[in-house]
Structures are given as structure tokens and as C-alpha cells.
Amino acid sequence: MSARRITIYDTTLRDGAQTVGISFSLADKIGIARALDRLRVDYIEGGWPGSNPKDDLFFKEIKKADLANSRIAAFGSTKRPNTGIREDPFIRSLVDSGADVITVVAKTWDFHVTTALDIGLDDNLVLIRETVSYLKDSGFEVFLDAEHFFDAYKNNREYALKTLESAIGAGADMIVLCDTNGGTLPHDAQSITDAVVKKIKTPVGVHFHNDAGTAEANSMASVLAGAVSVQGTINGYGERCGNCNLITIIPNLALKMGYSCSAADSLGHLTEISRYVSETANLSHNERAPYVGDNSFAHKGGIHVSAMQKDTRSYEHISPEMVGNRRKVLISELSGKSNIEFKAKELGIDLKDSVVLPKDILKKIKMLEDQGFQFEAAEGSFELLIREATGEYVPFFNLKGFRVITEMSETEELYCEATIKVEVDGRIEHTAANGNGPVAALDNALRKALEKFYPEIKEMHLSDYKVRVLNEKGGTGAMVRVLVDQKNNTDHWGTVGVSTNIIEASWQAMVDGIEYMLFKRKARNDG
């Protein structure tokens, strides 16, 4: 066992965004970066400056996020052949990004140099040296991503090492050995990493893809061989078969192998952040995922439950609370309670010893979860649920009814209007509003009706809206989950709704969003 420190480098916002079916908005990227900061990952790779407007905006907006624990990295490639480094637009974009760290990907496999870049082997060494040197002179911490290194080392060991030496000679702060095709196995990962660590004095990191299903095993083998940094993504998202899954590797390094890393101090956030990213990516969460799946600590009837009642170590390799997860004993009332207590404490809700959540509230939470509610990316809804159980929260308004009309004109223009009637302190407000869709019209009408009573609603607006079908086989009658993100000048929060009717699910999420803001505002004023 070793106390050697391992840094964690997250590339969810770049490599993870290359997953088929994932398209992060700018708000998504900022939200994920904030979550990674809570997890205390050391480096967050925000994207490739100059490659698209969204990534350029991210590096501008993330400066306003006031991250407390993580450093922001920008990704790019070595300079173009036959182009002066000061004239290369991508190099300029890297410098202008204002990132804390620049990660430069370079060709190390002679096959790629002569085939993909179509230049000489020595010319490639010059590109590496000039790029790293220029970025170091510009004041950055610089990492070299040695692309295809494990294949390169097997094919032409001497040249592969020369590419590393070119970067080291130019001042690179870390050399990252990349298994870009994802076909390396653990014994090769360990032996090659060991050879490189013994050859160079510069710190060595690793970046594994999962095409052979061994990304996490390769990362652990490389750490045993002397690597001091692991790159990966949340939930293993990434191109083709994905990347090393940080949600698995972090607890393995900290809890199983005894290494030190900053994220080890925030393992209680692991399940929450895994689910948050999957919801943000609009993908189903892997309920059988190690550590963070909903079934990771689930126990059914018979001999398992009998043994668990005596000692949980009989069928659990760690306590689920260590990673922010919960134990599910399907035939008892234990299911859900520990999760409620953990999340309540995390949200700063004081569940005093004298306050016992009644059984009907526990049943309600179980019922909602069975219907498809997930609160990890909707803490606004979750907090309202718990505050209501403790008697701290009473709804600020009551719905008396609403109607949504959608019409298409002869010019094939879609027209949506919502009328709504709400009651606040015995007073009825009846109003209508238009929108570019039925949900937008309903949202506009609700805000219009409430602004007379709660003018602070004008400060908030909907920043993101996601819909996911929960049971695809249900066809047009399938259950859907709606996740809504809202924010005002200082805060942002998520809420959730579930129904077979998308309008009703949207209504649930929108109402929770407004109620949450009003409750938090009242709590601040009363405090």
C-alpha cells in the first residue's frame, strides 16, 4: 500500500462529449464543471479552443464560476506543419483561452506521423518541441498527450521515446501515455508504463480508452508501475466504447489501493455526480454500475438479507454511504431512509433526532422513485419534498386549472396559448399567455399570474429543459421524465416531473422550480 498522490484529470467535457448521442449545451458544460469541482478532481478539460464557438464561450464563462478545487485545462494539438507558431490560429486560441493548463496532443506512432500527418519523423519532433516551448514561454503549465503511445512503443520504441524527449526538452510538465485505440491489455500497460517511468524524470500520466474493456484495469496497472495521474471521464463516456471511468477508478485508487487523491475527500458526492452527469447527458444511468448504480448495494430476500441484518460486511465490499449511495433491502423499510438522511445533511437540512419521517412520506418517496423520479439532478424537487415532510415548507400557490391550446394556421404556423387560474392567499388570478410551444406558453402564463404576488419571479428564467422516455415500449403512452434547470442572478437549481403526459410532467417540474425559489428567498429573508 502506498500514500503516493495521484492526480485526477477529467475530460468528460471533451472526450466524453464525443459519445454518440451526447450533445452538451454551454449551460450543461458549466454545470458539469461545477459538479467536478465539488468532487475535487484536480483538472477539468473544458474543450478545444478555436474548434467551435461553444468551447470558446466555455473558457470565457467558466472564469465566472469561482471553482474552489479544480484547475481548467484547454486541449489542442501541436502546431501545423509549414505554419509559423505565432500564425497558427489554434495555438493562438489555446493561449487566448486563459486556461490554467494546456494539454497538447502529439503523434508518437511513426505510422501516424507518415500516414496521417504526411510529414517526416524528424519534422514531427520539431512540431512537438516548438509547440511545447512556445506554450511554456507563454506562462502555461503544459501536458503532452502522447497519442497512440502504447501502439507506438510496440511498433518503434526508439521513435516513440524520442517524441517524449522532444516535449521534455521543451519543458513539458507531464507526459501522458495515451492508449488511443483502446486495445492495450493490463500486462502491457504496466510493463510499458514501468519502462517509461524508469526512462524519464518528468511525471507520467495515463489515458486509456475502453475498446478492450480494460480501461480501468490498465489505469490501475499503470499507477502500480509509477504513473502519478489518471485521465478519464464520468461514467466512462467517450468515443466508441468510452474512456476510463473515473467513477470507478477514483474509489479503487483511494479505497482499495491506498493512494492519495483530492477526490478521495469527496467520495460522498460520487453517486450524486454520476447521476447528475448521466441526466445532463440525457442518457439512462447504469443501475448496475460499480459503486454508484441503484442496484450496487441492493439485497433481495433469503440468505443475503439474513446475513446483512447481522453484519453488512457479509455481502458488501464497502459501506454504500462512503460513495454517497444507499443500501436497498427490498423486503424492509431500510430502503430509502439512509439516502434521505445523507442527502438532507448534504443540503443543510436539520433532521433532528426528535423528527421522525412518517411512514407515508417514505412510501411516497419509494413510489416516486418507482415511477421514474430521480432527484440527483433535481435537488430543488428533493429539498421541497423533505422540507414539506419536516413541516418547513407549505406551497405558495394552488392551481385551480389550466388549458393549453395548440393550433396550426393555413400558413403552417404553429400557435400555442395557455390560460391558467391560480390561488394565492385566497385571491384568484386568471390570465393567459402565448409561447413558441405548449410548455413555453404554460410557463409564461404561470409566471404572469404569479408576478403580481411574487415580483421576484421576474428575476428567474428557464435555462434548460430535457425530456426522456422512461419505458420506450410504451409508445405514445410511455412515461416521460422532464428535468428543468432554472436560475436567477445568483443561484441555479434543478427540478423534475414524471407523467405519461409531457405537459403534466413539465408542469410538475416548473411549479417545483418556482416554489423552490420562493421558499429559498423566504428562508433567507426570515433568517
DSSP symbols for 374-406: --TT-HHHHHHHHHHHTT----S-EEEEEEEEE
The residue segments making up the domain with residue 525 are: 357-386+461-527
Give the integer Cα–Cα distance in Å for 195 and 205.
13
Q: Assign residue 418 the CATH number of its domain.
A: 3.30.160.740
Report which secondary-structure segment, H or E, holds 145: strand 141-147
Query: What's the pLDDT at 484?
Result: 93
**Which of 430, 453, 476 is the last residue in one of the domains?**
453
What is the 3-class SS of 79-97, one letter each residue?
Answer: CCCCCCHHHCHHHHHHHHC
- The contacts of residue 463 (CB under 8 Å, 6+ apart) are 27, 485, 486, 487, 492
Same domain, 239 and 380: no
Same domain, 146 and 202: yes
C-alpha cell, 304: 443475503
What is the model's pLDDT at position 320?
92
CB 176 within 8 A of CB 143: yes
Q: Would you give the DSSP letter of residue 64?
A: G
Q: Is the pLDDT of residue 358 over 60?
A: no
Could you tell me the three cell numbers for 465?
A: 429543459
Distance CA 272, CA 352 (A): 23
Q: Is residue 35 part of a domain?
A: yes
Same domain, yes or no: 127 and 76: yes
Say how far apart CA 74 and CA 238 lie, in whole Å.
17
The answer to whether residues 168 and 175 touch, using CB atoms and an 8 Å cutoff, is yes
Residue pair 135/104 in contact (Cβ under 8 Å)? The answer is yes
Instruction: Output the pLDDT for position 341.
Output: 63
Q: Could you give the percent of the chain with pLDDT greater than 70?
A: 90
CATH value at residue 372: 3.30.160.340
Strands (E), 354-491: 398-408, 414-424, 427-435, 461-469, 480-487
The DSSP bridge partners found for residue 418 are 404, 433
pLDDT of 307 over the 70 cut: no
Containing H/E element for 199? helix 186-199
**Do 420 and 508 share a domain, yes or no?**
no
The gap from C-alpha 4 to its chain's centroid, in whole angstroms, comes to: 27
Structure-model confidence comparison of residues 469 and 25, the more confident one? 25
Taking phi over 0 as left and psi of -120 to 50 as alpha, with beta for the rest, 516 belongs to alpha
Helical residues (DSSP H) of 39-176, grouped into ranges: 53-61, 89-96, 110-112, 121-137, 149-155, 157-169
Compute how many other C-beta atoms are within 10 angstroms of the C-beta atom of residue 241.
13
Which of 77-81, 108-112, 157-161, 363-367 is the least confident region?
Answer: 363-367
| pLDDT of the residue at 472 | 62
Residue 310 domain flag: no
pLDDT of residue 304: 57
What pLDDT, in 10s, does the model give residues 117-149?
999 999 999 999 999 999 999 999 999 999 999
- Distance between CA atoms of 218 and 226, rounded to whole angstroms? 12
Give how far Cα 229 sits from Cα of 136, 184, 354, 526, Å. 20, 18, 46, 47
Mean pLDDT computed over every residue of the chain? 89
Residue 334 has pLDDT above 60, yes or no: no
Residue 104 has pLDDT above 70, yes or no: yes
Name the more confident of 74 and 329. Answer: 74
Contact present, 145 and 170 (Cβ < 8 Å) = no
Query: Does residue 213 sit within a domain?
Result: yes
The whole-number average pLDDT for the span 153-178 is: 98
Give the span between the Cα atoms of 150 and 220, in whole angstroms. 16
Q: How confident is the model at residue 365 (pLDDT cuts 50, 70, 90)?
A: confident
Query: How much is the average pLDDT of 236-240?
Result: 97
- Residue 286 maps to a domain: no
Q: Does 111 lie in the same domain as 60?
A: yes
Mean pLDDT of 503-522: 94
Least reliable range by pLDDT among 188-192, 295-299, 413-417 = 295-299
CA distance 328 to 320: 10
Question: Does 113 lie in the same domain as 259?
Answer: yes
Q: Give the domain-ending residue among 245, 263, 280.
A: 280
**Full-model pTM:** 0.73
- 380 and 437 inside one domain: no
CA dist 147 and 179 (Å) reads: 7
In a domain, 495, yes or no: yes
Distance, CA of 466 to CA of 480 (rounded, Å):
10
| 401 and 501 belong to one structural domain | no
**322 falls within a domain:** no
pLDDT at 373: 82
CA atoms of 181 and 193, how far apart (whole Å): 17
C-alpha cell at 342: 445523507
376 and 258 within one domain: no
Cβ burial of 302 (10 Å; 0-12, 13-18, 19+) is exposed
**What was the pLDDT predicted at 474?**
60
80-86: average pLDDT? 92
Residue 513 contacts by C-beta under 8 Å, 6 or more apart in sequence?
380, 460, 462, 484, 486, 493, 495
Residues 215 and 135 in one domain: yes
Domain count, the chain: 3
In a domain, 288, yes or no: no
- For residue 426, what is the DSSP state? T
Whether residues 261 and 131 share a domain: the answer is yes
| DSSP result, 251-278 | HIIIIIS--B-GGGGGGGGHHHHHHHHH
In angstroms, the CA 287 to CA 297 distance is: 10
Give the residue from 280, 305, 330 where a domain finishes: 280
Cell of 117: 500527418
For residue 335, what pLDDT band results from cuts at 50, 70 and 90? very low
Per the listing, cell 502529439 goes with 106
* Whether 336 contacts 326, CB under 8 Å: yes
The pLDDT of 184-201, averaged and rounded, is 98
Instruction: Provide the residue type at 179 as one letter.
Output: D
215 occurs within a structural domain: yes
Using a 10 angstrom Cβ sphere, with 0-12 exposed, 13-18 middle and 19 or more buried, the burial of residue 64 is exposed
- CA separation for the pair 516, 527 (Å, rounded): 16
pLDDT at 477: 65
Cβ distance 114 to 159 under 8 Å? Answer: no
Q: Which of 151, 156, 147 is nearest to 128 (CA)?
A: 147
What band does 404 get if pLDDT is binned at 50, 70 and 90?
A: very high
For residue 122, the SS3 value is helix
| Whole-number pLDDT of residue 473 | 62
Give the CATH number, domain containing residue 182.
Answer: 3.20.20.70
Rg (the chain; Cα; Å): 26
Q: Are residues 381 and 485 in the same domain?
A: yes
